[in-house]
Amino acid sequence: MGFPARSSENLGDVTILDEKHFRILKDLGYELGPDTMTNEYWKKRGADALAITTQDRDVYGCIDHTVGEGVAIFDIEGTEYIDVTGGVAVRAFGLRYKPYLEFEASILDVVKELPGMDFDAIPQTLLAEKVASLPPGDHKRQVTFTTSGGRAVEGCMKSAMDLSGKQRFVAFRPAFHGRTGYALSLTSTNWKHKSGFPQGVDVIRIYYPYCYRCPYGQNVEDCNIECAEALRFALEVEGTDIAATVMEPICGEGGLIVPPAKAVKAIYEISKEFGAYFMSDEVQAGMGRTGKWCAVENHGVIPDYVSMAKALGGGYPMGASIGPSPMFSEASRHSETFSAEPKMSLLSLWIIRHIETEGYLKKNAENGAYLLTRLNELVDKHEVVGDARGIGLMTGVEIIKDEKSKAKAPKLRDKILKNAVNSQKLWILGCGQNSIRMTPSYIITREQIDSAVERLDNAIKASS
């Protein structure tokens, strides 16, 4: 009943939703005929049933959940794509990574229904010790686990408020820290997430250090880091009762912006001068993606707090709030029922160990540098590619109208994305108002990087 076998660049013959998977759905009460196996059909059902998706159904098809390997993903019509989103920075080792699957199979008998933080269990404690050792600096740390990035941020925020007795935060524009609760108060990338929803906490907001479009009209080579001085000014006039400054070490959703180390250091130092904690939101950039466990290490800063998620779970929902020890003024101030259950904790321990033993920090730094070199060729080649930037495997390009005006070109960016996905079969995401990002899985090869850049190049050519 499934689709006939199709030839694939990476996988040989594959069958999209084969008999077995049709049967699984049938056993669950869904009798699906081959006539339902179109992107349009499932996009329509998705649009009716789901109130959540943030991606554009005009561009992306319905992903097949039964096939794929490494960076090769398929939609349910059998079209194969190179995925450079890495599952939005979630899949550290891509799809169906054999060593990971083998480890997962070996722990099938582990009790997995134990809620994490309500009781002690060995995997959770070991993972807490391990995760606490990842950020730079050797001060003693504690950890609370969670099941999302936003709540990893919120665990840190709660701790910073509890320990400091202060309730206000410094955050940036643009910035993305989550779509719920306290984390949403820090976010400023998309009015649709924010407008009409009250602020959970009071936030003082300053510009993110964005050298390609310095809001203060300066050049990074000889600037006096006005962006950091803006923080001093804000605190002087708005008040210094700040629990923490919360910063993405690379601004991800907001446009793949890499701040200069001197600005991050100065923002850190001014925060300290006024008695605030400094928190690095590593949900997207962390877990070795940039060649360091925490991307903020690239800026030479030792944060008080670190939020982690995405690649920490490698596909399962796992997040961690890491803070100074003791993290709360007394016990039982914070926890989450389903966090760090044993199986997921073991999988996260495996991911961290595998990154260590297989040298992925070095590989990510080197492959990322190669990717950035290739993206810089697109800057040289196309007037509409204004800038290429990134650290390690967190990279992007900014799309502009022309070199002289550097005016943002959001419509052109959207057209390039559509061409990239629909014609070039490159599964890729936008970010910010006019940027395109690549956050591929760590197992991406140089050949796949070349192929991805070539596809993006073709999409830009076809769109300009």
Ligand X SMILES: Cc1ncc(COP(=O)(O)O)c(C=O)c1O
User: Is the CB of 52 or the CB of 105 nearer to ligand X?
Assistant: 52
With contacts defined by CB under 6 A, name the span among 175-183, 223-231, 271-279, 339-347 that binds ligand X.
175-183
Q: Answer yes or no whether residue 336 interacts with ligand X by CB under 6 A.
A: no
- Within 239-341, where are the H helices? 261-273
Check residue 208 for interaction with ligand X (CB under 6 A): no
Nearer to ligand X, 171 or 375 (CB): 171
Residues 6+ apart with CB under 8 A from 75: 39, 61, 62, 63, 64, 81
Cis preceding-peptide flag for 326 (omega within 30 of 0): yes
Question: Are 164 and 422 spatial neighbours (Cβ–Cβ below 8 Å)?
Answer: no
- For residues 304 and 457, which CB has a smaller minimum distance to ligand X in the complex? 304
Least Cβ distance, residue 219 to ligand X (angstroms): 27
Select from 39, 34, 32, 24 the least CA-distant residue to 75.
39
* Residues 223-262 within binding reach of ligand X (CB under 6 A): 248, 252-253
Interface mask toward ligand X for 276-315; x: CB under 6 A: -----x-xx------------------------x------
Decide whether 153 or 225 has the Cβ nearer to ligand X: 153
Q: Say if CB 204 and CB 238 are below 8 A apart.
A: yes
Return d(Cα 125, Cα 116) in angstroms, integer. 10
91 vs 39: CA distance, rounded Å: 23
Any contact of residue 149 with ligand X (CB under 6 A)? yes
Which range of residues in 28-36, 171-179, 295-303, 352-360 is near ligand X by CB under 6 A? 171-179
Asked whether 400 and 408 are in contact (CB, 8 A), the reply is yes
| Pair 187, 193: CB distance under 8 Å | yes
* Binding piece for ligand X, criterion CB under 6 A, among 16-24, 93-101, 173-181, 259-267: 173-181
Residue 127: name the closest of 291, 285, 288, 308 by CA.
308
Rounded CA-CA distance 90/252 in Å is: 13
In the window 357-396, what residues touch ligand X (CB under 6 A)?
none
> Does the protein bind ligand X through residue 74 (CB under 6 A)?
no
Position of minimal CB gap to ligand X: 149
Binding residue count for ligand X, defined by CB under 6 A = 14
Decide: is 150 part of the binding site for ligand X (CB under 6 A).
yes
Residues 78-107 interacting with ligand X (rule: CB under 6 A) = none
Residue 396 corresponds to which amino acid? G
Closest distance of CB 52 from ligand X, Å: 11
Per-residue CA distances from 230 to 82, 142, 218, 225 (Å): 42, 32, 13, 9
CA distance 119 to 313: 21
177 is an interface residue for ligand X by CB under 6 A:
yes
Binding mask 24-53 for ligand X (x = CB under 6 A): ------------------------------
CA distance to 25, 82, 165, 314, 437, per residue, from 428 (Å): 29, 8, 43, 19, 7
The answer to whether 79 touches 68, Cβ cutoff 8 Å, is: no
Which of 124, 148, 280, 419 binds ligand X (CB under 6 A)? It is 148
- Which residues, in sequence order, are CB contacts of 38 under 8 Å at separation 6+? 76, 77
Query: Measured between alpha carbons, how far is 368 from 153 in angstroms, rounded to an integer?
Result: 26
Least distance to ligand X, CB of residue 313, Å:
10
Which residues have CB under 8 Å from 221's CB, separation 6+?
A: none
Among 68, 87, 116, 178, binds ligand X (CB under 6 A): 178
Which one, of 373, 307, 294, 311, lies nearest residue 154 by Cα?
A: 307
Contact range with ligand X by CB under 6 A, out of 47-55, 143-151, 271-279, 287-295 = 143-151
Nearer residue to ligand X within complex by CB, 176 or 210 = 176
Q: How far is the CB of 156 from ligand X (least distance, A)?
A: 11
Min. distance of Cβ 273 from ligand X in angstroms? Answer: 25
Q: Which amino acid is at 456?
A: L
Which residue number, 184 or 385, has a Cβ lying nearer to ligand X?
184
Report in angstroms how near the CB of residue 152 gets to ligand X at its nearest. Answer: 7
Nearest approach, Cβ of 401 to ligand X (angstroms)? Answer: 28
Among 14, 16, 153, 400, binds ligand X (CB under 6 A): 153
64 makes contact with ligand X (CB under 6 A): no
- Give whichever of 389 and 455 is closer to ligand X, judged by the CB atom: 389
Residue with tokens 């800063």: 301
| Contacts to ligand X by CB under 6 A | 148-150, 153, 176-178, 248, 252-253, 281, 283-284, 309
